[in-house]
Every structure is written in C-alpha cells, then in structure tokens.
C-alpha cells in the first residue's frame, strides 16, 4: 500500500485558539498532521485545543528573554525540531525578527485586505475605512510586518453590517482562508 505521507504543520497562537481549533478539525489526520503548537501566553485558551487533540505544545513566554532575538532563537529551535512542512501563525501576537522570518517557512493570517491596515486593530480600521468591502488575507511571513506575498484573500461587503456583524463575518472568513491557504501552500 502506497500511503502519502501527511504534511506536518506547527501552529503558533496567543489567544482563544479558534483558528487553531478549526485547522485541527479540518486538516489534522486528513493528509496533514499538526505535530506541535506553541504559545507565548500561559493563559491562552488555545492550550485546551492542544490538550483535547493530544497535540504536543509548549508555552514560551517572552518575558523570560533579554531580547526579541533571544526569544525568536528559542522559537525557531522548537519549531525546527518538529521538521514541519509549514508553520502557521494563527493569531500569534508577536512581531517576529529576521532570525525567525529567514529560517522558518511560515504563513500568517491577517484580518484585512492587505496591504491595507497592517498591524493591530485591523478589523476596526477596515470597518471604518472608505472602501465598500473588507476582508482577510493570508500571506507568507517576512521581516516586513504583514508584508509578505499574499496567498489567499477573501472579501465581504460592509454595507448594512453593524460592526459586530462585520467582525463576526471576518472571524468566520479567517478560518476558511487559513485552511485554503495551508492546502494551497502544501
């Protein structure tokens, strides 16, 4: 029997882990394997996702390091030890240094139509801008914040949506875009 070897994924997250959970539900053990997860937040709810699906995880807090580079060196070493085909930043709220971006093949999810609204508060900025549509982007991670080549973008019309409805639709779109991007890249 000639089985195709599963593509190995590492996921980095900081918060609720809803995108991480969606990746696991849609892809884990379906041609892909989430081999490791890492968070910078000891209170991240995404830790429960790792436990639920028996995915090895580690908490690496930045406050224990003298510099961003020292932190990123540890992250790179942990990620590389699992030999992933792809690392996915699913709500990992850290700006990574070239030490990471030059050594790890990674993609990132961003809740706006890049290049619009890089950085924090992108959903709020996108909702309030002059464009009729907003959306999400998945892009390769480079040393430029939210500046890597775009893999997938999905958009939604904003008209007649309250901010709460817009945000909810963006959160839903993020999950679809992330899974589509992972499949496309791998």
Q: Which positions are catalytic?
A: 110
- Strand 150-157 and strand 86-89: the pairing is unpaired
- Residues contacting residue 75 through CB under 8 Å, at least 6 positions apart: 12, 38, 60, 96, 100
Q: What are phi and psi of 181, to 5 degrees?
A: -65, -40
Nearest in space to 159 (alpha carbons), one of 122, 116, 127: 127
| Interatomic CA distance for residues 122 and 57, integer angstroms | 28
Q: Is the dihedral of CA 93, 99, 100, 102 positive or negative?
A: positive
């Amino acid at each position: 029997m000639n089985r195709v070897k599963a593509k190995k994924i590492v996921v980095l997250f900081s918060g609720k882990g809803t995108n991480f959970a969606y990746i696991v539900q849609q892809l884990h053990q379906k041609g892909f394997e989430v081999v490791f997860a890492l968070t910078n937040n000891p209170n991240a709810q995404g830790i429960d996702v790792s436990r639920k699906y028996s995915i090895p995880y580690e908490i690496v807090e930045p406050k224990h390091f003298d510099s961003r580079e020292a932190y990123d060196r540890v992250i790179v070493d942990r990620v590389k030890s699992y030999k992933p085909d792809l690392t996915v930043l699913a709500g990992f709220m850290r700006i990574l240094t070239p030490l990471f971006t030059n050594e790890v093949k990674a993609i990132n999810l961003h809740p706006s139509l890049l290049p619009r609204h890089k950085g924090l508060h992108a959903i709020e900025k996108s909702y309030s801008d002059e464009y009729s549509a907003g959306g999400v982007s998945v892009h390769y991670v480079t040393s430029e914040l939210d500046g890597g080549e775009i893999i997938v973008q999905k958009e939604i019309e904003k008209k007649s949506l309250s901010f709460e409805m817009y945000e909810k639709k963006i959160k839903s779109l993020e999950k679809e875009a992330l899974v589509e991007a992972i499949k496309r890249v791998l």
